[in-house]
């Protein structure tokens, strides 16, 4: 039987504060909400454009999808006065990176999906995209592993527009004029070919590619553009930067989003996670071993 993870009155207060604010700074265009199950555990696998998109995704999921958003959040967020209390009261999942607590977070995410019937949002890329044109990047395999382990559906979610509200790599919010933000959820990704099979590295990689292909196709429809034949590989870009054979990936991505490249190097370490999916933002996802990652 599903358990109630969140405080109803805290949820009501958070929603009452955040919804009018987002309505004032964004012009929403929402599609595909019929693809989000109204009950039961579900993974929402989304692309990551901006430190603002956890807010816009939460808004879409709560209003259009009629589901409460659950994120994994850096453990430090839970130590912030008031913010931590709100995060705990709204069912968010703390992650202490680089420790055994990360395994506990994964277990809590599994429980949220299977025991509590929650809608849990993950960024398979593990961070904001560094693709020069802001397409989804090559992703980690942890989301596919979690989906195959729990058996819950994976609904791909694509969005576009938050990079104009809060470009990655800068703390400069640009609320006015109101920004057009597009959001679409697609049908659950068909992972039936991988269920019941050994979770080998190849199987997980292929399942991850299916998830990212669905997200990319949805975003291409929003943008009216053709995506690259191969997704941007952040690991290869970093290796190229370290040996001098490629440009610094952070600066190029920040510039493409209209950000100050000088700020890009510090933004990643300064990110925070929204309490209840409604305040602040952070890099997060699940790593290749299935551990939630920020």
Question: What CATH code is carried by the domain that includes residue 266?
Answer: 3.40.1130
Q: For residue 19, is it within any domain?
A: no
Q: How far is residue 215's CA from residue 159's CA, in Å, rounded to a whole number?
A: 9
Please, which pLDDT band fits residue 87 given cuts at 50, 70 and 90?
A: confident
Interacting residues of 184 by C-beta distance below 8 A, sequence separation 6+: 30, 31, 32, 157, 158, 159, 218, 221, 222
Residue whose token pair is 């207060």: 13
What pLDDT does 166 receive?
94
Q: Which domain holds residue 124?
A: 27-293
Across 87-96, 152-161, 255-264, 269-278, which has the greatest mean pLDDT? 152-161
Q: For residue 13, is it within any domain?
A: no
What pLDDT does 46 receive?
97
Q: How far is residue 198's CA from residue 221's CA, in Å, rounded to a whole number?
A: 34
Please, which pLDDT band fits residue 251 given cuts at 50, 70 and 90?
A: very low
CA atoms in the 13 A half-sphere facing the CB of 233: 8
Q: For residue 74, is it within any domain?
A: yes
Domain count, the chain: 1
What pLDDT does 280 receive?
36
Q: For residue 186, is it within any domain?
A: yes
Q: Is 2 or 103 the better-scoring residue by pLDDT?
A: 103
Average pLDDT, the chain: 82
How distant, in Å, are the alpha carbons of 136, 172, 188 from that of 42?
Answer: 21, 33, 9
What pLDDT does 226 receive?
98
Q: For residue 110, is it within any domain?
A: yes
What pLDDT does 100 receive?
67
Query: What's the rounded mean pLDDT across residues 95-119?
Result: 83
What pLDDT does 168 receive?
92
Q: By 3-state DSSP, what share of the chain in percent is helix, strand and coil, each rounded to 5?
A: 45, 15, 40
Q: For residue 164, is it within any domain?
A: yes
pLDDT tens-digit readout, 114-159: 999 999 999 999 889 999 999 999 999 989 999 999 999 999 999 9
Q: For residue 142, is it within any domain?
A: yes
What pLDDT does 289 receive?
42
What pLDDT does 243 receive?
64
Contact 262, 115 (CB under 8 A): no
Interacting residues of 224 by C-beta distance below 8 A, sequence separation 6+: none
Q: For residue 18, is it within any domain?
A: no
């Amino acid at each position: 039987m599903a358990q109630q993870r969140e405080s109803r009155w805290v949820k009501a207060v958070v929603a009452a504060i955040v919804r009018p604010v987002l309505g004032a700074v964004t012009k929403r265009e929402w599609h595909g909400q019929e693809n989000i199950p109204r009950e039961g555990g579900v993974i929402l696998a989304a692309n990551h454009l901006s430190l603002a998109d956890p807010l816009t995704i939460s808004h879409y999921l709560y209003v259009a999808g009629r589901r409460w958003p659950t994120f994994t959040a850096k453990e430090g967020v839970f130590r912030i006065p008031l913010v931590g209390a709100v995060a705990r009261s709204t069912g968010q999942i703390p992650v202490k990176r680089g420790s055994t607590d990360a395994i506990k977070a994964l277990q809590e995410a599994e429980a949220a999906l299977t025991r509590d019937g929650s809608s849990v949002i993950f960024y398979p890329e593990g961070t904001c995209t560094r693709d020069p044109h802001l397409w989804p990047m090559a992703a980690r395999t942890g989301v596919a592993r979690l989906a195959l382990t729990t058996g819950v559906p994976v609904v791909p979610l694509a969005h576009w527009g938050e990079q104009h509200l809060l470009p990655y790599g800068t703390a400069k919010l640009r609320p006015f004029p109101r920004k057009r933000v597009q959001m679409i959820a697609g049908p659950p990704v068909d992972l039936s070919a991988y269920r019941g099979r050994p979770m080998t590295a190849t199987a997980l990689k292929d399942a991850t590619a299916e998830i990212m292909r669905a997200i990319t196709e949805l975003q291409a429809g929003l943008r009216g553009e053709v995506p690259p034949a191969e997704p941007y590989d952040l690991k290869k870009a970093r290796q190229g930067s370290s040996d001098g054979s490629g440009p610094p990936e952070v600066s190029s991505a920040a510039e493409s989003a209209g950000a100050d490249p000088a700020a890009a190097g510090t933004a990643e370490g300064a990110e925070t996670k929204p309490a209840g999916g409604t305040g602040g933002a952070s890099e997060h996802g699940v790593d290749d071993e299935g551990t939630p990652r920020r």
